[in-house]
Amino acid sequence: MSINDFVNKELVLFSRQDCVRSIPSMIDGLKPSQRKVLYGCLRRNLTKEIKVVQLSGYISETVLYHHGEQSLNQTIVSMAQDFVGTNNLNFLVPNGQFGTRIMGGRDSASPRYIYTYLQPITKFVFREEDDALLLRQEEEGVQIEPKHFLPILPTVLVNGATGIGTGWSTTICNHNPVEVVDRLIARLNGDASVEPINPWYRGFTGYFKRDPASCGQTFRVYGHCQWVDSATLVIDELPVGRWTQDYKLFLCELLQQGKLISGFRENHTDTEVSFTVSVKEEAAKELLTNEEEGMRAFKLVSTLSTSNFFLFNAEGHIQHYKDALEILDDFITYRLPFYQQRKECLLKSISARKKELQNKAQFVQSVVDGEIQLKNRSMKSVVEELEKRGLQKENGNFGYLLSMPLSQLTMEEKRDLETRKAEMEQKEAELEQKTSKDLWIDDLKEFRKTFLAVGNPDWSHS
């Protein structure tokens, strides 16, 4: 094989798959391994806790995960992590030691000792009503995860993403789910505002400041500290992505240098940072007069770039997005038509359900009135009579009627069937009046209400 053939016929296939595994989709914000995990959990309706190692085994078996078990375990763990700097909206519940901000998740326990299950709010993001619209995939005769899920909001903006493929990489920062929802609703209502969506990390008590010299594509990320007295500094927040243990090593280096600090104490927990630092007198005098210089001296300032927003678009090609708003607009363009498809599917389902209830009510009435006799008759003659009376078959037979228990062949049951049919008709009328945008906005408002109700109160803080 020539080098040209190897590169253009073999290596290019590997490089493509490397990018697919490393760079998420704009549609559902997931990489293939994450999509397999979510599909396995939804398929199993995982509402009760299970060991991570058992879940990975189930996914490997039923969804055909072809890579290492340790890699799959780590994917599950990362989807459940909720400490500062990870997920704003973790789809799985972390029950056990899933890692902390002390070591950036590297201190998670063995998968056989920790448990997880679906975060209840996950089903408000990936709606059951959209299941029929998903593009199914098969591999080796087995149904695996869909090509994409259809979340109600761009989850890649909520939880961010990082990845390095062949020739491409992506770094997308986290954003406030409430702000993303509000901006989505405004866009659907015709608001063309170009006000940017700023980075936001759940539980982070520092702040972001846009760097004017970067054309709006870089933010300075500030931790937080305060002077207790003229020589004592309390550091109670670190920039996003800077872990407690790493910062401790930095303070140890400063202590060895002997120029800036004379000692420090650790008072932090696995969720909150707290270093009490004794600063040398001469250095303290200088830093007290210049807050920015003090933050930089203690490495409490970092940068966050928004110029590397690369994702697979709806056509399956890697695309660069200039900012979060462009991702949002592209997501709306792709997602909105599926709400019209959902409406049509729901109307079809309601119509079928109405006919079934109507047929059942007619059948029960006929039995109660004695017009249909079931005793001492062959199945063939009963079927012929049902056909003669205009009752409709379901799946080619009348099983849904003839399998009704005797206790349901009563006037009370008939009235109940008619009541349920009337409810279906009302639901149908309400659905027909709504546009696809109305349906989407209803989903977004329900998610927003649920998210704020079950989440930490500071989740709504921008």
Contact 107, 100 (CB under 8 A): yes
What is the enclosing helix (H) or strand (E) of 207?
strand 207-210
C-alpha span between 148 and 403 (Å, rounded): 39
> Kindly report the CA angle at 335 between 321 and 149, in degrees rounded to 5?
90
Marked catalytic residue, from 113, 247, 321, 400: 113
Contact 98, 77 (CB under 8 A): yes
Residue 243, φ and ψ in degrees, nearest 5: -95, 155
Integer CA distances (angstroms), 100 to 103, 320, 458, in order: 6, 32, 19
Residue 235, φ and ψ in degrees, nearest 5: -100, 115
Is 247 among the residues known to form the active site?
A: no
Contact 241, 257 (CB under 8 A): no
Contact 311, 318 (CB under 8 A): yes
Contact 318, 168 (CB under 8 A): yes
C-alpha span between 347 and 341 (Å, rounded): 10
Output 14-18 pairs: Cβ under 8 A, ≥24 positions apart: 14/166, 15/165, 15/166, 15/167, 18/165, 18/166
Residue 329: what residue type?
Answer: D
Residues in the chain: 462
C-alpha span between 106 and 87 (Å, rounded): 15
Instruction: Transcribe 137-203 into DSSP letters.
Output: EEETTEEE--S----SS-HHHHH-EEEE-SS-EEEE--B-HHHHHHHHHHHHTT----PPPPB--TT
The first and second tokens of residue 266, run together, are 């650790």
Q: How far is CA 374 from the centre of its chain?
A: 53
- Residue ranges with strand state E in 238-296: 261-266, 275-279
State the catalytic residues: 113
